[in-house]
Amino acid sequence: MMRRLRTREDIHRAEQLIGLVLIVGVVASACVVLVGGIYYLVQYGASPADYNAFHGVPKALKSLPRTFAVLSSGSSHAIIQAGLFVLVLLQSVRLAFCAWMFGRQLDWLYVLMNFFLIGVLLHTFV
């Protein structure tokens, strides 16, 4: 059974864990984006940059399942996009950790708020 957080030091330690989750998640996402970015520059670096007119990104890069499906083909665009999806999903992960922290303080109202937020985030995502 999980130990209950009682003192300010306990809570601060739990908060530091949330900080750690954020750092690990952001670094992981940035590494994926960087690898995809270098590959992208190798592939297309000499082409002209043109973002004047809006065409929208290809359908394959608009949703998470499709992007991960395209990943196996080794597309640099898909690698970068996957890294960006990781960054967005990290927000739900950190909310889950916050919920866990409040749960250990037996603070169920705040646990509920966190679950509500996770629901809002994932609702727009899928």
Helix (H) or strand (E) holding 13, with range, is helix 8-44
- Using CB under 8 A, pick the residue from 2, 6, 46, 71 that binds another protein: 46
Asked if 1 is part of the footprint of another protein (rule: CB under 8 A), the reply reads no
Length of the chain: 126
Give 2 or 94: the residue with its C-beta nearer to another protein.
Answer: 94
Q: Is residue 12 close enough to count as binding another protein by CB under 8 A?
A: yes
Closer CB to another protein, 1 or 30, in the complex: 30
Q: How far is the CB of 2 from another protein (least distance, A)?
A: 18
Question: ∠ CA(96), CA(116), CA(111), 5° rounding?
Answer: 55
Q: At how many degrees (to 10) do helices 76-103 and 64-71 cross?
A: 130
- Give CA–CA dist 83/26, Å, rounded: 9
Residues that bind another protein (CB under 8 A): 12, 15-16, 18-20, 22-23, 25-26, 29-30, 33-34, 36-37, 40-41, 44-49, 51-57, 61-64, 76-78, 80-81, 84-85, 87-88, 90-92, 94-95, 98, 101-102, 107, 109-110, 113-114, 116-117, 120-121, 123-126
